[in-house]
Structure 1
Amino acid sequence: MANELVVIEKSTALEVFKSSDSVEDIIRKVEQEVNSFIPDVTTIKGRKEIASLAYKVAQSKTYLDGLGKDLVADLKEIPKLIDANRRTVRERFDTLRDKVRQPLTEWEAEQERIEAEKQMLAWHEEALEMNAAFDKALAERIESDHEIALLMNEKFDRDLVEAKAEAERQRIAHEEELKKQAAEQARLEAEQKAQQEIEAAAQREREAKEAAERAEREKQEAIQRAEQEAKEAKEKAERDAKEAQERAELEKQLAIEAESKKAHEAEQARLAEEERKRKEDAKRQEDKEHRRVFNQEALKALVSNGFDEKLATEFIKLVASNQIPHMTMNY
């Protein structure tokens, strides 16, 4: 399998995984590659390079873990050592992968926060625009209704003047006619008839005046209704705009709280992971020290019974690595 960070010959894979120092050498090589890399999230090329290096680290982890897995399948005798090194590879490479990708991950989180904030601002601006548009339409409607009322008032005044003038013309014409009739008929009859016509004209004038007053009242009532409707519409628009703004502010606050909660949970997860790794490292160190003390005690016992120290050391190594049939080290 081709890999740009780690290359191991299959024939030497067993030796590599049997030695913690060899695994450490491989990890240090990748760590040097990672530590020498300078991340740049301000450009597309820089972000691609971060993602590429993180992928290579993950690919190296998969590659080494796969080699170890194949060795475990082929060499059942040494699974514990290989599994331990596999775990080391997975954990260390996961850490390196996260370390490499951290600038990109933080950049992506920042972009999400910026987008959420832009959305909140857009909703707020939309509410303000709707409020301004409604105020404008309302003002135009009020102005139009007022102009119509003024035009109606002017027309009524003109009609009233014309009606009065016509009534006056008719009255004069009628009086002239009455005068002609009075000359032909008896004065008393003429005067009575004239009086009746005068009273009728006065009645018509009173009726015209009442009609004018009624029209004026109806006009004023129409104007008052229009003003009241305009006032109520404006108040409703203000309430709707206020509610829309409060709704946008609430949604923005909820988004901020959700982002804060997400960050807090991520930090708690990170601390928990660090604590878990610390405990596992301590456990591995304790186990390593236990084995060293155990091996030293076994070596002393062999030497005290006449074994050569070098041969005794090699013998203990063979037994510890399960290379001598029917013999094991009970730690």
Structure 2
Amino acid sequence: MANELVVIEKSTALEVFKSSDSVEDIIRKVEQEVNSFIPDVSTAKGRKEIASLAYKVAQSKTYLDGLGKDLVAELKEIPKLIDVNRRTVRERFDTLRDKVRQPLTEWEAEQERIEAEKQMLAWHEEALEMNEAFGKALAERIESDHEIALLMNEKFDRDLAEAKAEAERQRIAHEEELKKQAAEQARLAAEQKAQQEIEAAAQREREAKEAAERAEREKQEAIQRAEQSAKEAKEKAERDAKEAQERAEREKQLAIEAERKKSHEAEQARLAEEERKRQEDAKRQEDKEHRRKYNQETLQALVSNGFDEKLATEFIKLVASNQIPHMTMNY
């Protein structure tokens, strides 16, 4: 797979991104892979391996960053932490990518410098060819003039020799100037390339430093938010516990009052029942006394009319108990 440097099961991705230690473990494993790699820019295979490893590091960054992005979309509760780790992955893997590709980058810069030197050399050779053509034409002209000068006096011979020497000096001076210009242009191009690399490295270092400072700030902010959340959760828990205790106390008091009310109502019901029974007993006793009095008066009336007292008593009992038809006691 393209990102074989890093493989994470989707079911464990949340636990990985929730822990900075887990992310650090992944980065350290990739760093070990990168640090154990020996770059070789002297062969096409070696340069291809450098580019391949740098590509794998970049793909691993994209893979982890995309995995974290998916988690952020699914788990809204921890987006800040995942974003911090995503930034850490991006920045650290960018640094690793630049680190692993640096030999290839330097090699490419060297190749550009060599190409610039080759171009300068080509221009120089072209100038030499032009100079040679110029010298040849000059020599031909001088030779022609020499042939004419042979027909002239010694002064012309000296002038011709001086002119030839001056032309050679000019040719040599022109050739040296061309070499000097080519060397200066190559030197300036190499210095400019080196300065650009230095500035790029300094910029990467500044960006890495700023990223580290930003990550530290965000880490501290996350810690502060976590501490504030923990404080608020603790205060809420204390408030909830206090409210629960107060609610339990109120419910306890209500239960006590309810039990007290229930006991009072039970006592009132018992007293009412006792009063009802007392009244019923009193009523029964009163009725009994009333019947006894009526029975006694009836007995006296029967005895007064010549009835035997014992037979009269039995007669009254039979009437009172409704055992004699058509006769009742009217109390």
- TM class by shorter-chain length? 0.3 to 0.5
Q: 1:317 to 1:166 in 2, by over 3 A?
A: farther
Change (3 A) 1:14 1:305: farther
Which deviates the most, 310-319 or 54-63?
Answer: 310-319
Structure 1 gap ranges (5+): none
SS at the partner of 2:228? helix
1:141-187: CA deviations, max 9, x gaps? 34335547889999999999999999999999999999999999999
Deviates more, 1:97-106 or 1:260-269: 260-269
Aligned to 1:110: 110
Question: Unaligned regions of 5+ residues in structure 2, if any?
Answer: none
Q: 1:14 to 1:117 in 2, by over 3 A?
A: same
Change (3 A) 1:232 1:184: same
The 1:218–1:148 alpha-carbon spacing in structure 2 relative to 1, beyond 3 Å, is farther
Counterparts of 1:304-319 in structure 2, within 5 Å, are none
Closer, same or farther: CA 178–115 of 1 in aligned 2, 3 Å: closer
Q: In percent, how many aligned pairs have the same letter?
A: 95
Contact 2:146 2:157 in 1 (8 A): no
Local SS of the residue matching 1:42: coil
Offset at 1:3? 2.5
Q: Is the 2:120–2:182 Cα contact (8 Å) retained in structure 1?
A: no
Report which stretch shifted further, 148-157 or 189-198. Answer: 189-198
1:29-55 per-residue CA deviation (whole Å, 9 max, x = no partner) reads 111111111111111100000000000
Shift of 1:259: 98
Confirm or deny: 8 A CA contact 1:322 1:328 kept in the other structure: yes
1:151 is paired with a residue whose SS is: coil
- Mapped to 1, the partners of 2:99 and 2:282 lie a distance apart of 22
TM-score by length of 2: 0.44
Equivalents in 1 of 2:188, 2:25: separation in Å?
Answer: 145
Moved more, 199-208 or 134-143: 199-208
Which 10-residue stretch deviates more, 169-178 or 193-202? 193-202
Aligned-pair CA distance for 1:138: 2.1
Secondary structure of 2:77's counterpart equals coil
Greater Cα offset, 1-10 or 98-107 = 1-10
1:115 to partner: Cα distance:
1.2
Range with greater deviation from structure 2 (114-123 or 249-258): 249-258
After superposition, the Cα gap between the structure-2 partners of 1:129 and 1:159, relative to the gap in structure 1 and judged at 3 Å, is closer
Alpha carbons of 1:10 and 1:150: their partners in 2 closer, same or farther (altered >3 Å)? same
- Alpha carbons of structure 1 residues 251 and 288: separation in structure 2 relative to 1, 3 Å: same
Q: 1:226 to 1:95 in 2, by over 3 A?
A: closer
Structure 2 Cα separation of the partners of residues 171 and 151 of structure 1 = 27
82-91 vs 307-316, greater mean Cα deviation: 307-316
Q: 1:312 to 1:118 in 2, by over 3 A?
A: farther
Q: After TM superposition, give the deviation of residue 128 of structure 1 in Å.
A: 2.4
Relative contact order (C-alpha < 8 Å, sep 6+): which is higher?
1
Over alpha carbons, which structure has the higher Rg?
Answer: 2
Distance 2:191 2:83 in 1: 138
- Asked if the contact 1:123–1:248 (Cα under 8 Å) also holds between the matched residues in 2, the reply is no
Alpha-carbon distance, 1:24 to partner:
0.9
> Compared with structure 1, are the counterparts of its residues 139 and 210 closer, same or farther at alpha carbon in structure 2 (3 Å cutoff)?
farther
Which segment is superposed worse, 20-29 or 217-226?
217-226
8 Å contact from structure 1 (residues 127, 245) kept in 2: no
SS of the equivalent of 1:152 reads coil
Structure 2 distance, partners of 1:39, 1:7, is 24
**Given that residues 3 and 59 in structure 1 are in contact (C-alpha distance below 8 angstroms), is that contact kept between their aligned partners in structure 2?**
yes
Q: Specify whether residues 203 and 123 from structure 1 end up closer, same or farther in structure 2 by C-alpha distance, changes over 3 A only.
A: closer
Instruction: Return the offset for 1:124.
Output: 2.1
Cα gap change, 1:49 to 1:246, in 2 (>3 Å): farther
Measured at CA, do residues 9 and 62 of structure 1 come closer, stay the same or move farther in structure 2, by a change above 3 Å? Answer: same
Classify 1:209/1:112 alpha carbon distance in 2 versus 1 (closer, same or farther; 3 Å).
Answer: closer
Counterpart contact for 2:57–2:96, Cα < 8 Å: yes
- Whether contact under 8 Å (2:72, 2:78) holds in the other structure is yes
Change (3 A) 1:89 1:10: same
In 1, distance between residues paired with 2:34 and 2:158?
Answer: 94
More deviation, 293-302/155-164: 293-302
Confirm whether residue 188 of structure 1 aligns to residue 193 of structure 2. no
**Following the alignment from structure 1 to structure 2, what is the Cα–Cα distance between the partners of residues 326 and 213?**
122
Q: Could you tell me which residue of structure 2 aligns to residue 152 of structure 1?
A: 152
Number of residue pairs aligned between Structure 1 and Structure 2: 331
Contact 2:3 2:57 in 1 (8 A): no
Contact 2:18 2:82 in 1 (8 A): yes
Instruction: List 4+ stretches of structure 1 deviating above 2 A.
Output: 141-331
| CA drift at 1:275 | 99
